[in-house]
Structures are given as C-alpha cells and as structure tokens.
Amino acid sequence: MPRPRLQIIIGSTRPGRRGAAIADWFHTLALTHPGFDPELVDLAEVALPLLDEPAPPQRGRYENEHTRRWSATVGAADAFVFVVPEYNHSFNAATKNALDYLAREWAGKPVAFVGYGGVAAGSRAVQALLPVVTSLGMVPLASHVQIPSVRTAITRDGAFQAAPGLDDSATAVLDELQRLTHLLSAARPAAPVG
C-alpha cells in the first residue's frame, strides 16, 4: 500500500527568501518519517499569476493551463505542510493566492504549518491562515512548528540550522499529521473514475 503523499509547500516567492532553506530541513525530516511520501512544492516555481480564473474555484472549471496544473498537483496530495513567513503580522500574498485558486482539491485534507519570522516566530501568520484553510474544508493541526529569529538560523552557506528541540517539534507534527491523514483518508469519498 502506498504511503500518503505529503506536500511541503514553500510559501515565500521573493528573492532572498529563507523559506526554501527551512523547507529543505523539514523535507529531510519528512523523508526519514515512515508515514509519508513527501515532496517539495515551491510556489516560486509554480509561478501562479494573481488569480485570473473567471469562474469561482468551487465549480472546478478552469480555463487556464497553469490552474489545471496547480489543480493536478494539489489534488494528488493527501496532506500539506505550508512553510510560511510572517509579513506585517500576517501571512504572505503568494500563499493566499495559491490557496484561493482552488477549492475541492484542498477539502478534507489535513494541514500543518511551519511558521517563521522574528520574535513572534511566524505565529501571527499561522493564526491568520487558520480561518482561511478551515473555510476551504481543510483540517488544521492544533500544533505547528514555529521558528523565531530566523535570520540567525540561516548559515553563511544558506542552510537552515535548527535550534535544539526543533527537530523533535517537527517530528511530533509529522506524527500527528500522519494520524490525522489516516483518519481523513478513510472518511474521504473516492475520486471519480475517468
């Protein structure tokens, strides 16, 4: 039986971002976790324009090829972890745009967050995302990974250096995400054939 697919989504798209290094760290931990088949999804590479679909996403009638590709990517996942920065006491626009493009592809799937920033450790970004993902029918975990003072956690070669205990926190999130993924997968209706 195949393991559930976990998409680790890098939310920041700006040059000089720290999210890619953090996502690489989390992805490495997820690769050693027995519960998932993890993959990195970089919104900078997905390159969605500002929402440009004429019909609401709930209808699932996409006119643009970039939307159809994004739908197929997200639709193939069983669970998500968003690696998100905190900008101005909230989350970034690229993450919101990526969420707004779709509806049914997110529904009924668990989601966790790795938030990062300054003193608040991305907590305000995560708190602002909770009502958004809930309205899309996703099921957020109660706990998330929070990284304070992210500038000091990036080494000269651009790698993320996790503080003591952070690997354990991330593994606990993966454990809980695995449990919730199993429960929700059993409850989700099968995808239509053809």
Please give the average per-residue pLDDT across 88-101, as a whole number: 96
Q: Is the pTM of this model over 0.85?
A: yes
Task: Give dist(CA 69, CA 81) in Å, integer.
Answer: 19
Residues 111 and 180 sit within 8 Å (Cβ to Cβ): no
Amino acid in position 88: N
Beta strands in the chain (DSSP E): 5-10, 37-42, 79-85, 110-116, 139-140, 145-147
Q: Which two structure tokens, joined as six digits, stand for 108?
A: 């009924």
| Per-residue model confidence as pLDDT tens digits over 139-161 | 999 999 999 998 888 888 889 99
Q: Does domain 5-187 have CATH number 3.40.50.920?
A: no
Could you tell me what percent of the chain has a pLDDT over 90? 84
Query: How would residue 122 be classed by pLDDT, with cut points 50, 70 and 90?
Result: confident
Please, is 19 exposed, middle or buried when counting C-beta atoms within 10 Å of its C-beta (0-12, 13-18, 19+)?
buried
Hey, what long-range contacts does 60-64 have (CB within 8 A, 24 or more apart)? 60/103, 60/104
Boundaries of every domain in the chain: 5-187
pLDDT given for residue 152 in this prediction: 87
| Per-residue model confidence as pLDDT tens digits over 8-23 | 999 999 998 999 999 9
